[in-house]
Every structure is written in C-alpha cells, then in structure tokens.
Structure 1
Amino acid sequence: MKVITQGLNKSYKDKKVLQDISFTIENNEIVAVLGPNGVGKTTMLEILMTLKKYDSGDVQILGHNLHKESNIQKVRSKIGVVFQEGGMYAYLKTKEVLDLFASFYDISNDRINEVVNLFSLTKHMNTKYEKLSGGWKKRVLLATAFLNQPELLFLDEPTTGLDPKATKDLWDAIKLAKNNGTTIFLSSHSMEEVDMYADRSLILKDGKIAEFDSPTVLKEKYQCTYFKEVYFAILERESSHNE
C-alpha cells in the first residue's frame, strides 16, 4: 500500500477542514482528488506531501507513519510534487533548474537527459525560466518532479496552460511513471481527463469524503453518461443533505 489514512482530522481554530478522512491507496494507482474550492483538498494533499501537520488520526506514506517518523526527509526523497507556480526559479535557466533538483537526489546525467527528451526541453535548456511561456514553465516543473522517479507523485492542475501536444506528452509521462511503479495523486478541474485516466476519484465535500471509487463505477451508480454529471450530482446530493 502506498498511502493509508485512518480517521484523519484537521482544524484551523474552530473551523473543521478535514473530518474523519479514511482511505487506502494501492500501488500504481492514479487517484483524482476533486471538490469545490475550500473543501479541504489542498490541506489533505499538503498533509500527504508531509508539508502540513494534522490534529488526529493516522497517516502512513510509503510504509512510514508520519506521526512516528523521525526522519521526514526519508519520506520526501520518495515523493515528487508539481505545484501551480515556480516563481523561485525565475532567474535560473532550464538547465540550472534541472541540475539543482538533480543535486538534491544525486541524479545521473543520463536520467536528466531522459527527462529532457521526455518533455521536449532540449531547445529551452539555456532559456531563463521567467522567459518561458506558461506551457513551457509547466513542462519544466513536471520534469523536476519526474527526475527522481518518485514512488508517489502529486500533480496540481498539471495540464492547465498546456497546449494539446504538451498535454499528450504529460499523460504519456504519467502513464509511463505508473507502469514503472509510481502512484499519482491528481488535483484537476478537468472531468474529462479524470474520466479517461483516473483509476479512482476521491470527491470531498465539506471536509468529508462524499465518494471514492472508479469513474466507471460512479457513472453506473448515478446512472450518468459523463463523469462531470456524476460530480455535480454528488455535490447536489450533499447540499440537499445539509439543508
């Protein structure tokens, strides 16, 4: 098992952000984390990334219990993360960004070249990050996350700003990573991509898990043709329960 949470809870002062979150993520799964803004998606993912502490419950990442693990860097070395922005790299060239991340993990030049080819970055290696278009910046961020061949990969809106060719390259890379043993958490607003690629979808509403199953099973359960119809049906159902 790559990720296990049991009774995970997190509050900010009097506001309960996550309530009794329990799930198990298998090896080689692509899991889409969905829900409206403000329902706890970011908080939950940041906890799983080891970036944020939680109040109670149990979280195990790649066999490490986060409450008991004394060397959290041991966990982080097995994780790859792609955030929306990468402003800290503004004045670095693409090559320098990749070399920086490679130095964190003692990555070989062969692996760097492999990732450069995977994301078609060769022509942009000497371009400063700030001079790249939004799509090429995203490619660089993705390349840094794939460098260390992580066991667990977090992608935050990975295809935002990408053209169709870059989007195809990204999903080819994600599928390759999955085939090589990586488990992927995907935060996305593209219901079509979730339907096509996610093994399971975890939908949060008001800090709780509203549904967690494969898009196919959920479409059958809610008698919908498209997954986006399922998503809105779940949100409407949860809203009516709270009225």
Structure 2
Amino acid sequence: MSLAIDVRGLNKSFGARRVVQDVDLALEAGRICGFLGPNGSGKTTTLRMLCGLLTADSGHGQALGFDILREAGEIKRRTGYMTQRFSLYEDLTIAENLRFAARAHELDRGRERVDQAIARLGLEGRRNQLAGTLSGGWKQRLALAAATLHEPRLLLLDEPTAGVDPKARRTFWDEIHALSAQGLTVLVSTHYMDEAERCHEIAYISYGRLIARGTAAEVIAASRLVTLRAEGPGADRIAGELAARPGVESAAPFGAALHVSGTDRAALEAAIAPWRRAPFRWSEVPPTLEDVFIQLMGQAQDNAA
C-alpha cells in the first residue's frame, strides 16, 4: 500500500484555542476521503497543514513522500487546493484565469494545458466569459480546472460544492472520481451526506479531534446505533420531547417522519413507549450515515466555548 498522506499527532493552536488536537491520518494513494465535522472543528486548518500553508505546532509525518514540516514547498508544488470561497479573478475570463494559473505554476505547454482543461470540464462555450458573471456551478468547474491544471498528485477540497445545485454537484463528483481513477488522491471536506457516501472512506473530526474513521459502512457499524422510525401525522413534531428522554441520543425529523436513535435498545424502547400509539407507526430501520453524524455532533463539545 502506497500512502499519499501519513501524519501523526498533528496539533495547532491559535492563541489559547487548540484547534487541532493529536490528529492521526493515513490515506492511500488514489483514494477519495470525505472529511466531515461541525463548523469550527478544524477541518480547514488540518487541510492547510497537510499542504504546507500552515505549520503544525507539533506532530510529524509525510504527504506525497515529503516531510510536512521540513519540505512543505515540495508538497505545495504537487498539491491542488480548492478553497471554500471562489478565489480566482472575477474580472478575468475563464481562459485568462487559467492562463494566469499556468504562468504562476511555470508550466510548460501552458496554452495546450489550458485548452485541455477547458475541454475536460465542458467550459468551451464559456471560455471568454468573465468569471464574475458565472453561476456557482460554473465557478466551481473553473476553480477545479485551476486546481488541477498543474497535474497534482494530491487534491484538497474545502467544501467545494456549498451552494451549488444538485446537477452541478453530481457533475463535479463524476470528475473527482475520474481523477481518482487516474491515481489522484483526494481529501474533501463536506457537509452533504450523499457526498460522504460517494467517498471511498470518511473521517469525522469533532472540534479538533478525529473520532471516527473508515468506510461509511464501517463508521455506521461502529456507532452501535439502534434507529426507530416514526411515521404518521405530526411525527416530526415530537422530536424535541423525545430528544430529552433518557436513552435517546438523537431525534431528528426526516421529512414528515422522525428518526430516533440510541445505543441502548431497552432504554430507547422505554423512551418512545408513550408515543407507541395511533396515529404514530413505528418501525426499526438501519441507521443512516446522517443518523450517525447527528449522534456524533450531539456528543461533541465545542472547544471554543
């Protein structure tokens, strides 16, 4: 197994706040890893330490075979990084932005690479359109083209599809999987559960600490959750009452239905007993990845509090 990322004990503080705490992460080359967690949990800080934009206070390891502390420049040259906010020049066209990126990376065959990137991401009809006039989905394609123009071996994506419509998200993920099939390693932070399920594996960080790791199926199994689903008129409206009952670790509406989860089956059954009556219908369902992450978020303690 060839590891693209292999780091141990990463720590980073800003003032008195410890943002990343003893994070260990190993990721095989060519894999897509979804990086999940509440806002403010240290996802962006971890991504920036991995690619050399931030220096860890302590810890050690390698990315792409280079030491993250001593050889950050080598890692930067081989990494593509797509920020959460669109960061290209809005007063330049698509083609001008990509030509600028090619010059910044001092790439050979710059014009050829730009033409290939535009064709690969379906940007031909818009190559002369100003970036500032693009919709969110087209800006996303442009940003991905710029981040991969220098043919990186590692791609870091910080919530790349926030605010993008479902069709554009699917197109984006099709391209990510195509790049992964060519050997590119991808670490992507996201809040979308359907995107997490499209990753080869996932890592969940809770206010600086990595607390869950594995495939989606492995993370669900490790949670030991029992999930009961309530349907019927007003089922979603009893979430607040049930959430306060002993044995209930999460109670979350799913449309007009309600998922109630806990790890103690007997306590969970006792908690829902007053509502085991008409008009509610109860059934046990397999826990979803969203059930697990709602549970994990409920257990998390904000390290800024």
- 1:107 is displaced (CA, Å) by 4.8
Aligned to 1:22: 24
Q: Matched residues in 2 for 1:110 and 1:226: separation?
A: 45
- SS of 2:163's partner is coil
Question: Equivalent residues in 2 for 1:98-137 (5 A)?
Answer: 98-103=98-103, 104-108=105-109, 109-137=111-139
Letter in 2 for 1:226: T
Q: Matched residues in 1 for 2:128 and 2:116: separation?
A: 17
Aligned to 1:231: 293
Structure with more contact order per residue of length (Cα contacts < 8 Å, sep ≥ 6): 1
User: In structure 2, do the counterparts of structure 1 residues 60 and 28 end up closer, same or farther at CA, with 3 Å as the change threshold?
Assistant: same
Task: Tell me how large the CA RMSD over aligned residues is.
Answer: 1.7
Aligned to 2:262: none
- 1:105 is displaced (CA, Å) by 4.4
User: In structure 2, do the counterparts of structure 1 residues 47 and 170 end up closer, same or farther at CA, with 3 Å as the change threshold?
Assistant: same
Does the CA contact (< 8 Å) of 2:88 and 2:143 recur in 1?
A: no
- 1:87 is displaced (CA, Å) by 4.6
**Deviation per residue, 1:163-205 (Å, 9 max, x gap):** 344223211211111011111011111011111x112111111
Does the CA contact (< 8 Å) of 2:95 and 2:114 recur in 1?
A: no
1:92 aligns to 2:92 (yes or no): yes
User: In structure 2, do the counterparts of structure 1 residues 166 and 68 end up closer, same or farther at CA, with 3 Å as the change threshold?
Assistant: same
Q: Matched residues in 1 for 2:171 and 2:95: separation?
A: 19
User: In structure 2, do the counterparts of structure 1 residues 127 and 238 end up closer, same or farther at CA, with 3 Å as the change threshold?
Assistant: closer
Aligned to 2:219: 218
User: In structure 2, do the counterparts of structure 1 residues 118 and 203 end up closer, same or farther at CA, with 3 Å as the change threshold?
Assistant: same
Letter in 2 for 1:74: E
Max Rg structure: 2
Aligned to 2:204: 203
Deviating more after overlay: 224-233 vs 136-145: 224-233
Q: Percent identity?
A: 31
Deviating more after overlay: 177-186 vs 11-20: 11-20
5+ unaligned residues in a row in structure 1: which ranges? none
**Deviation per residue, 1:47-72 (Å, 9 max, x gap):** 11211111111031111112222xx3
User: In structure 2, do the counterparts of structure 1 residues 101 and 150 end up closer, same or farther at CA, with 3 Å as the change threshold?
Assistant: same
Question: Equivalent residues in 2 for 1:144-223 (5 A)?
Answer: 144-195=146-197, 197-222=198-223, 223=225
* TM-score normalised per structure 1: 0.90
Q: Matched residues in 2 for 1:85 and 1:238: separation?
A: 26
Aligned to 1:83: 83
Number of residue pairs matched by the alignment: 236
Letter in 1 for 2:39: N
- 1:238 is displaced (CA, Å) by 4.3
**Deviation per residue, 1:59-112 (Å, 9 max, x gap):** 31111112222xx33221210111122355021111100111122141534432
Q: Matched residues in 2 for 1:105 and 1:221: separation?
A: 47
Q: Matched residues in 1 for 2:118 and 2:88: separation?
A: 20
- 1:43 is displaced (CA, Å) by 1.0
Does the CA contact (< 8 Å) of 1:11 and 1:18 recur in 2?
A: yes
Does the CA contact (< 8 Å) of 1:149 and 1:177 recur in 2?
A: no
Q: Matched residues in 2 for 1:85 and 1:166: separation?
A: 16
Q: Matched residues in 2 for 1:201 and 1:83: separation?
A: 19
5+ unaligned residues in a row in structure 2: which ranges? 226-285
